[in-house]
Amino acid sequence: MIPGAFAYHRPKSVAEAVGMLADLGDDARALAGGHSLIPMMKLRLAKPEHLVDLAGISELNGVRTEGGDIVIGSMTTQNELLRSDLLAAKLPILRETSLVIADPQVRNVGTLGGNVANGDPGNDMPAVMMCLGATYHVAGKGGERRIAARDFYQGAYFTALEAGEIVTSIRIPAPPAGHGYAYEKLKRKVGDYATAAAAAVLTLNKGAVNYCSIGLTNVAETPLWAEAAAKHLIGTTLDGGSVKKAVAAAEAITAPASDNRGPAAYRTKMAGVMLTRALARAKTRAA
Amino acid sequence: MAKTQIAMKVNGKAVEALVEPRTLLIHFLREELSLTGPHIGCETSHCGACTVDLNGKSVKSCTMFAVQANGADILTIEGIANADGSLHALQEGFREMHGLQCGFCTPGMITRAHRLLQEIPNPSEQEIREGIAGNLCRCTGYQNIVKAIQYAAAKLSGVPAKEAAE
- Output phi, psi for A94, to 5 deg: -70, -35
Across the A:B interface, residue pairs with CB atoms under 8 Å apart total 81
**Segments making up each domain of chain B, as ranges:** 4-79, 89-158
Smallest CA–CA distance, residue A136 to chain B, in Å, is 26
From chain B, the residues in CB contact with A106 under 8 A are 45, 60, 63, 134
From chain A, the residues in CB contact with B48 under 8 A are 103, 105
Smallest CA–CA distance, residue A210 to chain B, in Å, is 36
By C-alpha distance, which of A107, A20, A102, A100 is closest to A57? A20
HEC states along chain B? CCCEEEEEEECCEEEEEEECCCCEHHHHHHHHCCCCCCCCCCCCCCCCCCEEEECCEEEEHHHCEHHHHCCCEEECHHHCCCCCCCCCHHHHHHHHCCCCCCCCCHHHHHHHHHHHHHHCCCCCHHHHHHHCCCCCCCCCCCHHHHHHHHHHHHHHCCCCHHHHHC
Average pLDDT over residues B137-153: 97
From chain A, the residues in CB contact with B65 under 8 A are 8, 34, 38, 51
What pTM did the predictor assign?
A: 0.96
Instruction: Output the average pLDDT for chain B.
Output: 95
By CA distance, what is A7's nearest residue in B? B21
From chain A, the residues in CB contact with B112 under 8 A are 104-105
Residues of chain A contacting B, Cβ within 8 Å: 1-8, 10, 31, 34-35, 38-39, 41-42, 51, 53, 55, 79, 102-106, 108-109, 190-191
State pLDDT tens for residues A71-128. 999 999 999 999 999 999 999 999 999 999 999 999 999 999 999 999 999 999 999 9
Position B159 confidence tier, pLDDT thresholds 50, 70, 90: confident
Position B160 confidence tier, pLDDT thresholds 50, 70, 90: low
Query: Residue B166 and residue B162: Cα distance in Å, rounded?
Result: 7
What pLDDT is recorded for position B166?
A: 57
Terminal-to-terminal C-alpha distance of chain B = 57
* CA triple B115-B117-B123, angle to 5 deg: 135
Give the homologous superfamily in CATH for domain B89-158: [2Fe-2S]-binding domain (1.10.150.120)
Average pLDDT over residues A12-26: 97
From chain A, the residues in CB contact with B49 under 8 A are none
Q: Name the residue among B24, B58, B68 with its Cβ closest to that of A104.
A: B58
What pLDDT is recorded for position A287?
A: 86
Fold of B4-79: Ubiquitin-like (UB roll) (3.10.20)
Side chain identity at residue A246, one-letter code = A
Q: Which of A105, A109, A187 should be substituted to probe chain B, the one whose Cβ sees the most B Cβ atoms within 10 Å?
A: A105
Name the strand (E) or helix (H) holding A198: strand A196-205
From chain A, the residues in CB contact with B59 under 8 A are 105, 108-109
State pLDDT tens for residues B100-119. 999 999 999 999 999 999 99
B7 Cβ under 8 Å from any chain A Cβ: no
Average pLDDT over residues B64-69: 98
Contact predicate B47/B63, CB 8 Å: no
Query: Residue B127 and residue B120: Cα distance in Å, rounded?
Result: 8
State pLDDT tens for residues A35-54. 999 999 999 999 999 999 99
What pLDDT is recorded for position B1?
A: 67
Position B140 confidence tier, pLDDT thresholds 50, 70, 90: very high
Are the beta carbons of B57 and A79 separated by less than 8 Å? yes
Name the strand (E) or helix (H) holding A214: strand A208-217
Are the beta carbons of B43 and A7 separated by less than 8 Å? no
State pLDDT tens for residues A200-239. 999 999 999 999 999 999 999 999 999 999 999 999 999 9
Are the beta carbons of B22 and A79 separated by less than 8 Å? no
Smallest CA–CA distance, residue A239 to chain B, in Å, is 34
From chain A, the residues in CB contact with B44 under 8 A are 39, 42
Query: Residue A173 and residue A90: Cα distance in Å, rounded?
Result: 10
What pLDDT is recorded for position B161?
A: 61
Contact predicate A127/A223, CB 8 Å: yes
Q: Is the pLDDT of residue A144 over 90?
A: yes
Instruction: List, in order of start, the domains of chain A with CATH numbers.
Output: 7-52 (3.30.43.10), 60-173 (3.30.465.10), 180-285 (3.30.390.50)
Contact predicate A49/A6, CB 8 Å: yes
From chain B, the residues in CB contact with A31 under 8 A are 68
Average pLDDT over residues A260-287: 97
State pLDDT tens for residues A181-198. 999 999 999 989 999 999
Of chain B residues 71-110, which have a CB less than 8 A from chain A? none
Average pLDDT over residues A46-71: 97
